[in-house]
Amino acid sequence: MEERHMDKREFLKTSGAMLASTLLSKLTPAQITADSRTNWAGNYTYSTKNLDQATSVEDVLHSVSSHSHLKALGARHSFNGIADSAVDQISLTHFDQIELDAKARTVTVGAGVTYGQLAPYIDSRGFAVHNLASLPHISVVGACATATHGSGNNNGNLSTAVRAMEIVTANGEVLIFSRETLGDRFQGTVVGLGALGVITKVTLDVQPSFQMTQMVYEELSFSQLEHHLDDIFASGYSVSIFTDWQNHRATQVWIKRRVDQGSHADPKADFYGAKPATHNLHPLAGHSAENCTEQMGIPGPWYERLPHFRMNFTPSSGAELQSEYFVPREKGYAAILAVEQLRDQITPHLFITEFRTIAADDLWISPCYQRQSMTLHFTWKPQWPAVKKVLPLIEEKLAPFGARPHWAKLFTMPSARLRSEYTKLSAYQGLLAQYDPNGKFRNTFIDRNIYGI
Ligand SMILES: Cc1cc2nc3c(=O)[nH]c(=O)nc-3n(C[C@H](O)[C@H](O)[C@H](O)COP(=O)(O)OP(=O)(O)OC[C@H]3O[C@@H](n4cnc5c(N)ncnc54)[C@H](O)[C@@H]3O)c2cc1C
């Protein structure tokens, strides 16, 4: 077993102080100041100025026993109040150990590790994780707690790689959650929304490293999606389709192929009538492709092709909002047509929409629970009053398809609807009652969306 450990023995109680001065925080649009503590996008201000910086499990135990309410904070990339607390938050940024077990094909990472830190480390030792989100800046633990996903018909969301978690629960126990310790209930804990306790480390499955290419095509007619949606999403290991909802067409298609699966697309050939891009593109028209991963069919490591955005640059637009809804994959085209009817309400406030696919899983409150899924994602301009009016319209259009919202993005769906779409929600409530009977890790987001309060 190989281990990388940088232990900083300090336990800082900050009061709205700046988070650790990482490269990432230098690049974030929302600078954290002593007076204002916000999420990455700057659209959400946390309700408390108290942020414990833990460097050891003992520190975490101390925080858990000292506060009536506590919430773990990851890399702050969620767009809603999921990571908020009225009393106290705890950051585990300093939990930066990475332990690769090549024989078991697993890697165990501290709760502060981001995919951007994990990926080059395991790749240099011959391993990969099965997929990545559009950006590498997010923490592994925070991403897995919210069922964060990339794309690919056969790729489960990132949480499906979780084999075990070490967690500090409300009564001060340090437990290992795994299939071995919990049986089937483990599937209820992985997408945990930070409500079961403070996770200190997580073990993920890894596989042999692989090379990939990325090709981008422009102007794909929706009528091609009508007849070939499955083929188009099956044309690569990971496929993303972007649209601005204008002119009944997709603006771009990004196809990420594994070289070991025969990545030999002719760079000059059309793709269902869409034209191959002649240079690297950003999904947002007019944005420089400098912060995007390499395209044009040039082979490279998996972690430099699976995300759309490169590590040391601002991902996406920066000042933005995001929403995303999961529908059954076989209803994907019908769902696209339903939302297209709202294009005149959507487009003025939209940077871009993206469609992706995710494999079904068995994680209780994953949006892909027992359902092959397609997502309709919206990167919005930072215009919340207007976006807040459009979301209920989109949710109404998608209701007949049984849409489930992304937990970490913006939605307005009433909790009653969430309960009917997330069929294992009451079983998940049972886990919360067992591990957090007095609601130490509950916050307004959990009260509203899980308990309907
Ligand atoms: C530009 C941008 C692009 C994005 N792209 C994608 C994408 O491609 N696909 C996608 O699915 N999502 C995407 N997201 C959403 C993002 O993946 C989620 O918001 C994810 O949860 C962020 O992880 P984080 O580390 O920032 O966690 P945070 O937002 O800080 O926290 C998220 C949740 O994890 C919990 N948590 C964090 N650490 C711990 C811990 N140690 N113990 C217990 N609970 C913990 C928190 O309490 C909270 O409930 C994107 C977001 C942004 C800003």
CA-to-CA distance for 441 and 243, rounded, in angstroms? 38
CA-to-CA distance for 21 and 42, rounded, in angstroms? 17
Which of 319, 380, 394 is CA-nearest to residue 351?
380
CA-to-CA distance for 136 and 311, rounded, in angstroms? 6
Question: Crossing angle, helix 384-398 and helix 332-340, to 10 degrees?
Answer: 130
Q: Give the up-direction half-sphere exposure of residue 99: CA atoms within 13 A in the CB hemisphere.
A: 12
Q: Is the CB of 387 under 6 A from ligand 1?
A: no
* Per-residue pLDDT, 392: 98
Measured in Å, residue 312 CA sits from the centre of ligand 1 at 18
Q: What is the SS3 assignment for 309?
A: strand
Tell me the best of 148, 159, 160 to mutate to test the pocket of ligand 1, counting ligand atoms within 8 Å of each CB and taking the most.
148
| CA distance readout (Å), 214 to 96, 121, 127, 235, 295 | 30, 22, 20, 12, 5
Measured in Å, residue 395 CA sits from the centre of ligand 1 at 22
Tell me the best of 73, 239, 355, 409 to mutate to test the pocket of ligand 1, counting ligand atoms within 8 Å of each CB and taking the most.
73
CA-to-CA distance for 137 and 75, rounded, in angstroms? 7
CA-to-CA distance for 351 and 423, rounded, in angstroms? 32
Measured in Å, residue 109 CA sits from the centre of ligand 1 at 16
Interacting residues of 207 by C-beta distance below 8 A, sequence separation 6+:
105, 127, 128, 129, 130
* Per-residue pLDDT, 234: 96
Q: Give the residue, by CA position, lying nearest to ligand 1 atom 12.
A: 148
According to DSSP, the β-strands at 89-91 and 50-53 are parallel
Which of 309, 379, 384 is CA-nearest to residue 351?
379
Q: Which two tokens stand for residue 259?
A: 């070289």
* Per-residue pLDDT, 267: 75
* Per-residue pLDDT, 226: 93
Measured in Å, residue 194 CA sits from the centre of ligand 1 at 10
Measured in Å, residue 442 CA sits from the centre of ligand 1 at 17
Measured in Å, residue 55 CA sits from the centre of ligand 1 at 20
CA-to-CA distance for 71 and 435, rounded, in angstroms? 14
Measured in Å, residue 74 CA sits from the centre of ligand 1 at 7
Q: Is the CB of 141 under 6 A from ligand 1?
A: yes
CA-to-CA distance for 224 and 270, rounded, in angstroms? 13
CA-to-CA distance for 185 and 189, rounded, in angstroms? 7
Q: Which two tokens stand for residue 361?
A: 């899983």
According to DSSP, the β-strands at 71-73 and 89-91 are parallel
Q: Give the residue, by CA position, lying nearest to ligand 1 atom 48.
A: 83
Number of the ligand 1 atom closest to the C-alpha atom of 147: 11
Q: Per DSSP, what are the bridge partners of residue 175?
A: 167
* Per-residue pLDDT, 178: 98
Q: Is the CB of 32 under 6 A from ligand 1?
A: no
Q: Is the CB of 350 under 6 A from ligand 1?
A: no
Measured in Å, residue 138 CA sits from the centre of ligand 1 at 6
Q: Is the CB of 238 under 6 A from ligand 1?
A: no
Q: Per DSSP, what are the bridge partners of residue 177?
A: 165
* Per-residue pLDDT, 20: 29
Helix (H) or strand (E) holding 438: none
CA-to-CA distance for 366 and 189, rounded, in angstroms? 10
* Per-residue pLDDT, 27: 34
Q: Would you write out the chain's pLDDT as a tens digit for each of its 453 residues? A: 443 443 333 333 332 322 222 223 333 333 344 345 999 999 999 999 999 999 999 999 999 999 999 999 999 999 999 999 999 999 999 999 999 999 999 999 999 999 999 999 999 999 999 999 998 899 999 999 999 999 999 999 999 999 999 999 999 999 999 999 999 999 999 999 999 999 999 999 999 999 999 999 999 999 999 999 999 999 999 999 999 999 999 999 999 999 998 766 677 789 999 999 999 999 998 888 998 999 999 999 999 999 998 877 766 667 899 999 999 999 999 999 999 999 999 999 999 999 999 999 999 999 999 999 999 999 999 999 999 999 999 999 999 999 999 999 999 999 999 999 999 999 999 999 999 999 999 999 999 999 999
CA-to-CA distance for 420 and 405, rounded, in angstroms? 12
Measured in Å, residue 295 CA sits from the centre of ligand 1 at 26
Q: In the chain, what is the greatest distance between 2 CA atoms, to the nearest angstrom? A: 63
Q: Using the structure block, give the residue that is written with the tokens 């108290």.
A: 50
